[in-house]
Amino acid sequence: MDQIVRTITIGIIATAVMDLWGYSRQPLFGFPRADYRLVGRWFAYMPRGRFHHTSIAASPPLVGEHIVGWVVHYLIGTTFAALLVRVGGVHWLRHPTLGPALVVGIATVAAPLLLMQPGMGAGIAAARTKRPSAARLQAFLTHTVFGLGLYVAAWITQLFVPFAR
């Protein structure tokens, strides 16, 4: 149980670190913030059997899509944290190191590039956007920050939440 709670906490903190980066990157670099309302729309259409959109922004909005987007965003972050814990094990939870966290964080960039962007109409690796290279760079930087967030979150939980005996 301790490992589950710790993993969920790491996922939430790491996702929040990624969100803080998302808010700061607009004034610093001019990159737009992620619109989780559109992620929510994409996911909310899935139970209706629609997994691909020509343009998710052009698809009719659905009630609650904003909340769905944020919830899904944090669930995905927590799932990726669970992947890291699965790979690194309890030893990594007790003695977090940057390498595995960064590897998992950077590897998670595959999800938006190969699943979400194509499903939402942006093409594989944002190929159908106005500036594919900029979108790819944003995704890479954001997921690198997520990896750093996994590491920081693991240290925070390791320092401030004692392990069950």
In tens digits, the chain (165 residues) has pLDDT values of 689 999 999 999 999 999 999 988 877 777 778 899 999 999 999 999 999 999 999 999 999 999 999 999 999 999 999 999 999 988 999 999 999 999 999 999 999 999 999 999 999 999 999 999 999 999 999 999 999 999 999 999 988 777 765
Q: What is the pLDDT of residue 29?
A: 73
Q: Is the sign of the CA dihedral 19, 23, 108, 62 positive or negative?
A: positive
For the question of whether the overall pTM of this predicted structure is more than 0.85, the answer is yes
Q: What is the pLDDT of residue 31?
A: 75
Q: What is the pLDDT of residue 64?
A: 97
State both tokens at 69: 């987007």
CB 9 within 8 A of CB 153: yes
Q: What is the pLDDT of residue 164?
A: 65
CB 99 within 8 A of CB 115: no
3-state secondary structure of 28: helix
Among 149, 22, 19, CA closest to 84: 149
Backbone Cα Rg of the chain? 17
Cα distance between residue 36 and residue 34, in whole Å: 6
